[in-house]
Amino acid sequence: MKNRRYVLVQHTDRAPIADCVEWRTETVAQPGPGEVLTRTLLLSVDPANRGWMSSNPPSYMKGVAIGEAVRAISIDEVVKSNDPEFAAGDIVEAMSGWQDYAVAPGHALRKIEPRGDLALELSLYGLSGLTAYIGLMDIGRPKPGETLFVSAAAGSVGTIVGQLGKAGGCRVVGSAGSDAKCRWLVEELGFDAAINYKDGPMRKRLREACPAGIDIYFDNTGGDALQSAVLLGNERARIVSCGLVSRWTAENPDQGIKGIPGLIAMKSMLMQGFIVFDNLHRRNEAFGLLSRLVADGRLEVRDDIVEGLENAPKALTGLFAGENMGKRILKVAERSAS
């Protein structure tokens, strides 16, 4: 039994990662006392995967060391367990990273009773769903009749945010990077309007799409979308600082946003970030609500599946290039017949 894996060989602070990882085939490790050997079925492809490769990683989690597998959230099947809480065949959420097999202490795994398609455990019932729910409900606090603008609206979090906003009675406007995505948002997901940011500066089109201004901006990108939202924000507008996809590949990622702090103060606006890992204890609250909306036909999820562990770097690079519609997931292996 061989373990195929991508290990980190060089830290990086930029989007291109091909030179920073190396494909290796090694012997599968055996679990020690209290440990569990798992086989990777699905890998979550997230902007954070790249952040963890940085030499200066975000403060909430330590970075990946040289020689370790690239870190990613996974859905695994238990192969062999030395922890009485787990048995072979169990499905677990883990942090196995870009490899076929991983060994982890039992306390680092979370047993899952799949609600349907296993991929949903990484999208709607994973960090994407929790991020959308916490950011929109706790910071955005939507009220019926308000205008919600969400950037990277066709992405894993944006699709859920927009549909949650619609379910809550908001006018919802999204931005995305292709006409096909914009059509999908409006025609399939029920957005009121969508803007292709590649058609040029956003402010004028956003003003047209938001005739009553912006009450909530769910920021997945920073950059031009944030700048426009600050300018078009209404009094007491809330800006949910969630991601900054635009910055990873930007020429000058530190360029400031005009009107901060002036317009924040003048318009009594709020801008707030949040760490989704602070909110893991609220999964039941979030996923209970999301699953009710799915059952009611008010929330639709599309997962963007890429096949094969060997394609992991390409899948991540493509995420920053905006290839995905919905949550990007790497499919590594099928679940064993049980």
Contact 225, 173 (CB under 8 A): no
CB closer to a second copy, 179 vs 278:
278
How far is Cα 5 from Cα 165, in angstroms, rounded to an integer?
A: 40
Q: How far is Cα 142 from Cα 81, in angstroms, rounded to an integer?
A: 45
Give contact residues for a second copy (rule: CB under 8 A): 58-60, 219, 222, 226, 235, 239, 241-244, 247, 253-262, 264-275, 278
Return the number of the residue (162 or 222) whose C-beta is nearest a second copy.
222
- Residue closer to a second copy (CB basis): 29 or 275: 275
Output the DSSP codes for 278-293. Answer: GGGGGHHHHHHHHHHH
Task: Output the smallest distance, CB 235 to a second copy, in A.
Answer: 6
Nearest distance, CB of residue 15 and a second copy, angstroms: 15
CB of 212 to a second copy, least distance (A): 14
- Shortest Cβ 127–a second copy spacing (Å): 14
Least distance to a second copy, CB of residue 247, Å: 6
Long-range contacts of 29-33 (CB under 8 A, 24+ apart): 29/3, 29/101, 29/103, 30/80, 30/103, 31/80, 31/81, 31/82, 31/103, 32/82, 32/103, 33/82
* CB nearer a second copy, residue 97 or residue 135: 135
Question: Which residue has 């809330």 as its token pair?
Answer: 238
Beta-ladder partners of 323: none
**199 token code pair:** 């058609």
